[in-house]
Amino acid sequence: MKNVLIVDDSRIMRNIVKNTFSSLHIPCEFIEAANGNEALLRLSENEIALVLLDWNMPQLSGIDFLKKIRAMPQYADLPVIMVTSEAARYNVIEALKSGATDYIIKPVSEKSFKEKISKIEF
């Protein structure tokens, strides 16, 4: 069973992301983190196959978490999809340049997840 790490400071949003992703019927377990620091901890404790990552969070933002893990060889190829309200093109470019595998703008939908997941090896 693959582990999906959902990182968002909003518990409601983590539930929505979980439920929307579940509608794809991909067998997986969900692990949650409320900020980038927690996400680093979860990553070190579990074998994670995919990260669904918010941008704006306290303590350690999603973009800073992303930059940190991409500097670690063991996470160089870990699929990370940004799931964020940051819709400006310069934000999308920054995330992709920082190593995001793909980008979903909130609010999320089954359609957006389906499209993005179909492009990655998961």
Partner 1 sequence: MEKYIHPFIEVCENVFRDFIGAELTAERPYFIDKKDAHEWDISAVIGLTGEARGAVVISMKKALALKITDQLTETVHDDVDDEVLDAIGEIINIIAGNAKRGLEEMFRLVISLPTVVRGANHSISWPNDQTRIICIPFKIYNEETFSLLLAIEASH
Q: Which residues contribute to the site for partner 1 (CB under 8 A)?
A: 9-13, 15-16, 56-58, 84-91, 105-107, 109
What distance in Å separates the CA atoms of residue 44 and residue 107, rounded to the nearest whole number?
A: 29
Structure tokens at 63: 């973009």
Least Å from the CB of residue 115 to partner 1? 16
In the block, tokens 């692990």 appear at 31
Measured from the CB atom, the residue of 9 and 32 that comes closer to partner 1 is 9
Least Å from the CB of residue 49 to partner 1? 26
Cβ(52)–Cβ(7) under 8 Å? yes
Least Å from the CB of residue 7 to partner 1? 14
Measured from the CB atom, the residue of 10 and 98 that comes closer to partner 1 is 10
What distance in Å separates the CA atoms of residue 102 and residue 81, rounded to the nearest whole number?
A: 5
